[in-house]
Each structure stands twice: as structure tokens, then as C-alpha cells.
């Protein structure tokens, strides 16, 4: 009968809500939530990577003009100078895929469709942001779908028990009170509102179903499994491993070059000092008066001074760091530091050996995994347009039921 069809219409409408996503729930959640999590990890790794590349670049710049190290350091500077702008571009691209406020980065699933907690989510920055903790970008849409999936069954159950469930109960009650020969159900709620034939009840049920379809099914159902390239964090980790090797080498070489090396060598200093001594010799004199006064003899003393040579020999300690030694000492100091220089050279050559083999492949290893960002921009699904709370009135009024029964 028409009344049984009306009851089936509403049962089918509720089943449609679950059929939109239930069958592929695991795949849907894995694709949308997995893409969101992968993008978040990739964004964090990009920021770390950019910071590390800039640190390596700055360290290598200081070594460009140091003998032994300079040629390799210049290659590292060249490669990192090309890497930095490309990594910055990719980092900006990743950020644009899910734009977030710095202080608001935790999603609130209760603010996600199909039913939004208006009391909690109406405050700034509103439900459209709070659902996925983002304001724009394709990965923002993925985060919103992920948030919706996390609470979807609970919210649909609540919808089925709210006004929709109340209307379904009224229809079922009306159908139970009718017979094949009599489609009147006096005493029922619908009959009291003037919806007093099975034809009118069926029309009302179809109207209610259409309202629910327009608010949910026709906008996003059936939910498609997200088709985007997988984010290969393993490939990026390999590239970051190469970068860590180069950073370790640069730090080790810098440490070697800053080490103080000291030697002691003999040093002499000579000078003259004036030495004086008193010399006394016998001497005689006579009186100068007119009358004879006779001779007198005694000693005559004088100071005699001469320059006396003096010398001092000692060992003096001299220290230089390895970079100063490599850049050039001459003469005696070169000879003294030659054994140390040979040791430094061996240490540097050993440290640089892994760099020369991987530095040229560094760009490929780091940039190739980031091409996945181009594929992450292809999500057009906008679930924030879904709002079941607006599909039906807050309560089952006779005016609504009468309007529904007149629909065609």
C-alpha cells in the first residue's frame, strides 16, 4: 500500500546515509587520513631539511678557500645553492596545501559535517576551520573528510534518533493503523495535522527523503576513495641520510681545522753589556813651589769600561690551528709543522672520501620524492557544504508536514 511505501521510503533514506561511505569505510579513512598524516610528516621533514641544507651550505662556504678542502667544499656550496631555493619552493607548496594558523593546529571533529556542534563551533575561527584545523588547500579538504569520517557513524545515529527518527515513527505509526481497504488513521499524529491519506503520507515521506538527499547524498555521495600518489617518506629519508653524511663531514673537517697544534723550538738571543773595573797604577809627583819640596810617589786609579758579549738560549712554544698551518707557514715553522700537516691531510682526505661520491646525487635523492606534492593538489571534494542539521526543521510541526504532503 501507499502507507507501507512511505515507511520504506524513510527507511531507505536512512540506509542511503550509511551506504554513502559504510562499505568502503576502511579504504576511505586510510586514503584521506593517510594523505593528511603523510602531508603533515612531509611538511615537517621539509622544514628540517631546509634548515639542515642551509647549515651545510654555511659551513662549506667557510672552507672554500682552504687547501685540500676547498675543491670539495665548492662543490657542496654549488649543490646546496641550487637546493635551497627548490626546497623553499616545495616547503611553500606544502604549506599552501593545508594553510593553518600557527596557534590552531588541532582538528575538532565535532565541528565536522554532517552535523556541526553549533554551540562549540560557531566561535572564531568557526566550524569551517576547526573541522580540519585549516582554512584552505587540498590537504585541508582531506583533513576535513578525515575528521568527518571519525565521527560520521555517531552523528548519523544521532540524526536517525532526532527529528528524522521522529518523522519516521509518525509515518510507521500511521501505516500500522491503516488497512488495505481503509487508509485513514484517526488518532495518529499525521491525521491530526491533516495528512490523512496514505497518498499524502507517501508524498510527505518522499519530500523528507529529498530534503535529506539534497543536504547529503547529492552533494558528496558516494564518497570516492582518494586517488593521490602515496607519499614516500622512505625515499626522502635516504636523501636526508646523504645530507647528514655531508653535514657530519663538514663539521668534522671544521673541527680538525680548528684544532690547535703546538711545537717547541730553540731560540737564542745575544747582546752586549758594558762592564767597568777600577785599575790603579803607581805614579810619582813633585812639588810646584819655588823651593825644592821633593818627590812624592803613590797610586793613580782609573775606571776602565769595555762591552762584554752575552747570549741566552731557551725553548719557545708556538701554536697554530690546522687551517693556519695549511694556508701557509714558511721557513723553520714549515719544517717544524710538516709532520703535523701530513697527518691533517690524511684525516681530511679520509673524511672527504664519502662526500665526493654522493654530493652530486644529493639533489636527485632529495628532490625526486617531493614531486608527490604536485599530485596532492587534486582534491576537489568539499564536505563542508554538507549540513544535515538544516535539512529538516528542529521539530515536527503540522505546517511542515502539510507542506510536505502537498509536494509532487
CA separation for the pair 74, 58 (Å, rounded):
11
Q: What pLDDT was estimated at residue 293?
A: 56
Highest mean pLDDT among 251-260, 317-326, 347-356: 251-260
pLDDT average, residue stretch 22-45: 89
Q: What pLDDT was estimated at residue 210?
A: 94
Confidence of residue 259 (pLDDT cuts 50, 70, 90): confident
Higher pLDDT, 339 or 202: 202
Q: How many residues does the chain have?
A: 408
Cell numbers given for 51: 634548515
Q: What pLDDT was estimated at residue 201?
A: 94
Residues 6+ apart with CB under 8 A from 106: 133
pLDDT average, residue stretch 79-108: 90
pLDDT average, residue stretch 2-7: 92
Q: What pLDDT was estimated at residue 401?
A: 94
pLDDT average, residue stretch 306-322: 80
Confidence of residue 12 (pLDDT cuts 50, 70, 90): very high
pLDDT average, residue stretch 242-266: 75
Q: What pLDDT was estimated at residue 209?
A: 95
pLDDT average, residue stretch 280-295: 67
CA separation for the pair 199, 185 (Å, rounded):
13
Cell numbers given for 135: 582554512
Q: Calculate the CA 349 to chain-centre distance.
A: 34
In the predicted structure, residue 243 carries a pLDDT above the cut 90: no
Residue 329: burial class (beta carbons within 10 Å; 0-12, 13-18, 19+):
middle
In the predicted structure, residue 75 carries a pLDDT above the cut 60: yes
The torsion of the CA quartet 195, 201, 204, 209, rounded to 10 degrees, works out to 160
CA separation for the pair 214, 9 (Å, rounded):
15
Cell numbers given for 59: 659551513
Of 368, 106, 357, 393, nearest in space to 231 by CA = 368
pLDDT average, residue stretch 124-133: 91
pLDDT average, residue stretch 107-116: 90
CA separation for the pair 246, 256 (Å, rounded):
15
Q: What pLDDT was estimated at residue 119?
A: 78
Q: What pLDDT was estimated at residue 381?
A: 81
Q: What pLDDT was estimated at residue 101?
A: 92
In the predicted structure, residue 402 carries a pLDDT above the cut 90: yes
Residue 369: how many CA atoms within 13 Å on its side-chain side?
22
Confidence of residue 340 (pLDDT cuts 50, 70, 90): low
In the predicted structure, residue 100 carries a pLDDT above the cut 90: yes
Q: How far is CA 192 from CA 169, 179, 201, 207, 357, in A?
A: 15, 18, 12, 19, 87
Q: Calculate the CA 276 to chain-centre distance.
A: 84
In the predicted structure, residue 99 carries a pLDDT above the cut 90: yes
Residues 6+ apart with CB under 8 A from 363: 79, 82, 83, 86
Q: What pLDDT was estimated at residue 354?
A: 63
Q: What pLDDT was estimated at residue 336?
A: 57
Tell me if 337 sits within 8 A of 265, measured CB to CB.
no
CA separation for the pair 59, 53 (Å, rounded):
10
Q: To the nearest whole percent, how much of the chain has pLDDT over 90?
A: 31
In the predicted structure, residue 234 carries a pLDDT above the cut 80: no
DSSP H or E run through 317:
strand 295-321
In the predicted structure, residue 77 carries a pLDDT above the cut 60: yes
Confidence of residue 323 (pLDDT cuts 50, 70, 90): low
Cell numbers given for 195: 495528512
Q: What pLDDT was estimated at residue 111?
A: 92
In the predicted structure, residue 65 carries a pLDDT above the cut 80: no
pLDDT average, residue stretch 206-230: 87
Tell me if 27 sits within 8 A of 225, measured CB to CB.
yes
pLDDT average, residue stretch 303-310: 87
Tell me if 272 sits within 8 A of 308, measured CB to CB.
yes
Residues forming a β-bridge with 279: 302
Tell me if 131 sits within 8 A of 106, measured CB to CB.
no
Confidence of residue 194 (pLDDT cuts 50, 70, 90): very high
Confidence of residue 67 (pLDDT cuts 50, 70, 90): low
Characterize the bridge pairing of strands 295-321 and 260-286.
antiparallel
Cell numbers given for 399: 505546517
Highest mean pLDDT among 8-17, 307-316, 329-338: 8-17
Q: What pLDDT was estimated at residue 45?
A: 87
Residue 158: burial class (beta carbons within 10 Å; 0-12, 13-18, 19+):
middle
Q: How far is CA 262 from CA 203, 259, 336, 337, 341, in A?
A: 100, 10, 10, 9, 12
Name the average pLDDT for the chain: 83
Cell numbers given for 80: 646546496
pLDDT average, residue stretch 353-368: 72
Q: What pLDDT was estimated at residue 144?
A: 93
In the predicted structure, residue 57 carries a pLDDT above the cut 80: yes
Cα angle 329, 331, 337; round to 5? 55
Amino acid at each position: 500500500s501507499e502507507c507501507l511505501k512511505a515507511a520504506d521510503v524513510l527507511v531507505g533514506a536512512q540506509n542511503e546515509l550509511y551506504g554513502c561511505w559504510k562499505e568502503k569505510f576502511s579504504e576511505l579513512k586510510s586514503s584521506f587520513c593517510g594523505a593528511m598524516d603523510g602531508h603533515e610528516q612531509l611538511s615537517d621533514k621539509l622544514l628540517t631539511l631546509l634548515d639542515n641544507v642551509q647549515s651545510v651550505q654555511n659551513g662549506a662556504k667557510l672552507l672554500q678557500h682552504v687547501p685540500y678542502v676547498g675543491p670539495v667544499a665548492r662543490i657542496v656550496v654549488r649543490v646546496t645553492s641550487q637546493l635551497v631555493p627548490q626546497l623553499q619552493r616545495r616547503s611553500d607548496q606544502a604549506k599552501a596545501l593545508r594553510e593553518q594558523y600557527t596557534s590552531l593546529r588541532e582538528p575538532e571533529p565535532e565541528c565536522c559535517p554532517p552535523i556541526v556542534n553549533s554551540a562549540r563551533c560557531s566561535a572564531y575561527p568557526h566550524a569551517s576551520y576547526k573541522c580540519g584545523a585549516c582554512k584552505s588547500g587540498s590537504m585541508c579538504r582531506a583533513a576535513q573528510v578525515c575528521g568527518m569520517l571519525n565521527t560520521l557513524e555517531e552523528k548519523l545515529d544521532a540524526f536517525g534518533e532526532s527529528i528524522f527518527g521522529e518523522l519516521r515513527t509518525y509515518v510507521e505509526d500511521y501505516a500500522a493503523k491503516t488497512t488495505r481497504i481503509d487508509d485513514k488513521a484517526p488518532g495518529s499524529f499525521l491525521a491530526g495535522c491533516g495528512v490523512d491519506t496514505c497518498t499524502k503520507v507517501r508524498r510527505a515521506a518522499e519530500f523528507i527523503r529529498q530534503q535529506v538527499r539534497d543536504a547529503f547524498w547529492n552533494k558528496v555521495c558516494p564518497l570516492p576513495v582518494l586517488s593521490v600518489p602515496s607519499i614516500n617518506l622512505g625515499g626522502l629519508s635516504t636523501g636526508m641520510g646523504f645530507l647528514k653524511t655531508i653535514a657530519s663531514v663538514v663539521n668534522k673537517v671544521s673541527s680538525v681545522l680548528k684544532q690547535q697544534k703546538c711545537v717547541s723550538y730553540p731560540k737564542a738571543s745575544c747582546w752586549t753589556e758594558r762592564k767597568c773595573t777600577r785599575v790603579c797604577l803607581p805614579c810619582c809627583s813633585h812639588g810646584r813651589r819655588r823651593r825644592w819640596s821633593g818627590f812624592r810617589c803613590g797610586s793613580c786609579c782609573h775606571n776602565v769600561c769595555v762591552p762584554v758579549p752575552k747570549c741566552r738560549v731557551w725553548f719557545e712554544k708556538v701554536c697554530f690551528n690546522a687551517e693556519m698551518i695549511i694556508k701557509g707557514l714558511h721557513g723553520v715553522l714549515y719544517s717544524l709543522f710538516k709532520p703535523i700537516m701530513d697527518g691533517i691531510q690524511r684525516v681530511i682526505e679520509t673524511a672527504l672520501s664519502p662526500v665526493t661520491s654522493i654530493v652530486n646525487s644529493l639533489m636527485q635523492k632529495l628532490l625526486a620524492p617531493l614531486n608527490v606534492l604536485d599530485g596532492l593538489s587534486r582534491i576537489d571534494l568539499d564536505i563542508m557544504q554538507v549540513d544535515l542539521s538544516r535539512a529538516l526543521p528542529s521539530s515536527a510541526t503540522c505546517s511542515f508536514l502539510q507542506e510536505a504532503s502537498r509536494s509532487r
